[in-house]
Amino acid sequence: MLPQLQLLVSIDTEEDNWRPVREGITLENLRELPRLHRFLRELDLRPTYFVDHPVASTPWTLEVLRGIAAEGGGEIGAHLHPWNTPPLREAFTEANTMLRNLPSDLQRAKLETLRGSLSAVTGRPPTSFRAGRFGLGRETVAALLETGFDVDSSVTPFVSWAAHGGGSDFDGAPIDCYRLDGRDDPRIPAPAGRLREVPLSCGFTKRPFARLASLHRRLTSDALRRLPLASLATRTGLVRRVIGSPETNPVHDLLALARCLIGEGARFVHVFWHSPSLVPGLSPFVRSDSDRERFYRSVAQLVEGLARIATLQPATVSECADALCPAPRPAT
């Protein structure tokens, strides 16, 4: 009998500009969103669109989102790019593109702005969230709880973004749903926490993950960084770390990751990509029309491959959180 596996697909739904900018923002990739939604629904998937402020505050893109919401079969969540979400009180620096590095009151203010603008899509504020550049910190968790969010999906297990403007280090985070309370490192579960974390699927193409993670840590340490050991280990398949996105990984690696996740006890597979990849030339991953069609085919092939190794239960991010990490009942 095949194992039961929830299948999540989420899309960072954002401006065309791949690098952080505050001016000259364009949103042409949103014109492709209806095609993507139809494609995903034909695969019986239930996508989650994490939407940022420029998209949520532009009339014509709001109409696109309303159309998708009216079709149903998905979820609209929040995606915060600090560099273009008001209030813009901070200096425009690389460190400040990571939400976790901003003062806690400014994090809350930006979350309130985004939540308010997204309320115009469905008539109610979103409750799920992903930080831009995966910039989730302890104070971000507290701010999310204070502003009404109850599901986060910013954690990338086994991956550190510390070298990118002082981003988050998620090495050691759980691969399955867990709770957070804003009092500790976001990698550390808080059994009574009110925020449910639904991490992205990241890991290795072999098991056990704990041993592979330790080896990967050593190969990428400062002491060995100048040697080509990590690259050699990846090419030979000795230690191949995979981030769950068809933008950056071939289908066979994503399927190998899924098999290992099942073996490690994960109850879901969660893949993601960025909406600029819907238009050739906007992201580094899709450069031509043929690249785009190949990207669509890879998503279909991934779903087909997963169906051969598990009984799939497509879900939105919030549906997964409700099923695997139900919200605690209020005290009576």
Q: How confident is the model at residue 237 (pLDDT cuts 50, 70, 90)?
A: low
Assess if residue 247 is contained within a domain: no
Write the pLDDT tens digit of every residue in 63-88.
999 999 999 999 999 999 999 999 99
Q: How many angstroms separate the Cα of 40 from the Cα of each of 9, 36, 280, 303?
A: 9, 6, 19, 10
Q: Is the pLDDT of residue 122 over 50?
A: yes
Q: Is the pLDDT of residue 239 over 90?
A: no
Q: Is the pLDDT of residue 230 over 80?
A: no
Q: Is the pLDDT of residue 224 over 50?
A: no
Write the pLDDT tens digit of every residue in 157-178.
999 999 999 999 999 999 999 9
In total, how many domains does the chain have?
Answer: 1
Assess if residue 219 is contained within a domain: no
CA angle (269, 270, 276) in 5-degree steps: 150
Instruction: Return the H-helix or E-strand segment holding 20.
Output: none
Please check whether residue 274 is in contact with residue 12, taking contact to mean a CB–CB distance below 8 angstroms: yes
Q: Is the dihedral of CA 170, 270, 249, 207 positive or negative?
A: positive
What's the whole-number mean pLDDT along residues 48-62?
97
What's the whole-number mean pLDDT along residues 129-136?
98
CA angle (33, 76, 285) in 5-degree steps: 45
Among residues 223, 270, 254, 218, the alpha carbon closest in space to that of 239 is found at 218
What's the whole-number mean pLDDT along residues 32-39?
98
How much of the chain exceeds pLDDT 70, in percent? 93
d(CA 201, CA 224): 27
Q: Is the pLDDT of residue 278 over 50?
A: yes
In angstroms and rounded to an integer, the radius of gyration of the C-alpha atoms of the chain is: 19
Estimate the share of the chain in helix, then strand, then coil, as percent rounded to the nearest 5. Answer: 40, 15, 45
For 26, other C-beta atoms within 10 Å of its C-beta total: 13
Q: What is the CATH number of the domain that holds 178?
A: 3.20.20.370
For 332, other C-beta atoms within 10 Å of its C-beta total: 3
Residue 290's domain spans which residues?
Answer: 4-202+267-324
Assess if residue 171 is contained within a domain: yes
Q: How confident is the model at residue 220 (pLDDT cuts 50, 70, 90)?
A: confident
d(CA 54, CA 15): 7
pLDDT at 232: 47
Please check whether residue 130 is in contact with residue 154, taking contact to mean a CB–CB distance below 8 angstroms: yes
Assess if residue 260 is contained within a domain: no
What's the whole-number mean pLDDT along residues 1-23?
97
For 311, other C-beta atoms within 10 Å of its C-beta total: 11
d(CA 218, CA 220): 5
Q: How confident is the model at residue 322 (pLDDT cuts 50, 70, 90)?
A: very high
Assess if residue 33 is contained within a domain: yes
Q: How confident is the model at residue 155 (pLDDT cuts 50, 70, 90)?
A: very high
How much of the chain exceeds pLDDT 90, in percent? 89
Assess if residue 256 is contained within a domain: no
d(CA 251, CA 259): 12
Q: How confident is the model at residue 258 (pLDDT cuts 50, 70, 90)?
A: very high
Q: How far is CA 6 from the centre of its chain?
A: 16
Assess if residue 227 is contained within a domain: no
Q: Is the pLDDT of residue 227 over 90?
A: no
d(CA 133, CA 278): 19
Q: Which segment of 37-41, 182-186, 217-221, 224-228 scores lowest on mean pLDDT?
A: 224-228
Q: Is the pLDDT of residue 229 over 60?
A: no
Omega of the bond leading into 125 within 30 degrees of 0 (cis): no
Q: Is the pLDDT of residue 104 over 50?
A: yes
Predicted TM-score (pTM) of this structure:
0.94
Please check whether residue 68 is in contact with residue 74, taking contact to mean a CB–CB distance below 8 angstroms: yes
β-pair type (151-152, 128-131): parallel
What's the whole-number mean pLDDT along residues 91-115?
98
Instruction: Return the H-helix or E-strand segment holding 34.
Output: helix 33-42
Q: Which segment of 104-108, 230-234, 301-305 scores lowest on mean pLDDT?
A: 230-234
Write the pLDDT tens digit of every residue in 283-294.
999 999 999 999
Assess if residue 262 is contained within a domain: no
